[in-house]
Amino acid sequence: MRHVPNWALLSSASAPVLLAGGWMIAGLLAGPTYDPAAQTISVLAADGAPGAWVMTGALVALGVCHLITAWGLRVAAGAGRVALGGGGVAALAVALFPAPSSGGSLRHGSIAAVGFVLLAVWPLLAAVRGAAAPWGLRPAPSIAATAVMGLGAAWFLLGVHLHGAIGVAERFVTSFQSLWPFVVVASCIRHPGSS
């Protein structure tokens, strides 16, 4: 019995590529006024930003990828699949409610925070106990993944308060969050008995 369909591998592999590609292209379109080390990717999708359409499209694609992956990851615990899908919905909502061109937005920030939390806890919620579980769904890797995401969030929050490199911290966390579903799906496909 196959743990996950092949299309879930495609959707999970596409998520980090689309996200990173989106912020790289949108950053190029923004030009030298955008500082990727000190500014968030939300700035790239803000109203009136030169590459807003690229970053918005990347966020929509990321959300769709997470939803498709959650749907196909049937071997994972249900709560984890719901959390991953919720993270996908949050990515869609972040695209629908972009940050303003200047200043902050409680709505945008709240949606982004909810999405982060859902994507940070989904590995724990998706974990399956037992030696027969695929590696990416075992408790130890799941705990480690959530811990890495939590440390990345702490780095980001520290950067916000100390006016540090929040762009770097955000890219680290979002890259890891977009890559982990691929790691899990790949481990399920490679798991004995998955063919």
Q: At residue 160, what are phi and psi to the nearest 5 degrees?
A: -65, -45
The answer to the question of residue 1 being in a domain is no
The answer to the question of residue 136 being in a domain is yes
Two tokens, residue 80: 């984890």
Long-range pairs for 117-120: beta carbons < 8 A, 24 or more residues apart? 118/83, 118/84, 118/86, 118/87, 118/90, 119/66, 119/83, 119/84, 119/87, 119/90, 119/149, 119/177, 120/146, 120/149, 120/150, 120/153, 120/177
Only one residue has tokens 């919905």, namely 89
The answer to the question of residue 96 being in a domain is yes
State the Cα–Cα distance between residues 28 and 51, nearest whole angstrom. 8
The answer to the question of residue 195 being in a domain is no
Domain with 79, as residue range(s), is 6-190
**DSSP state letter for 132:** T
Domains in the chain: how many in total? 1
Per-residue pLDDT of the chain (195 residues; tens, 9 = 90+): 357 899 999 999 999 999 999 999 999 999 999 999 999 999 999 989 999 999 999 999 999 999 999 999 999 999 999 999 999 999 999 999 998 877 677 898 899 999 999 999 999 999 998 878 899 999 999 999 999 999 999 998 888 878 778 889 999 999 999 999 999 999 999 876 554
Half-sphere exposure of 147 (CA within 13 A, CB side): 6
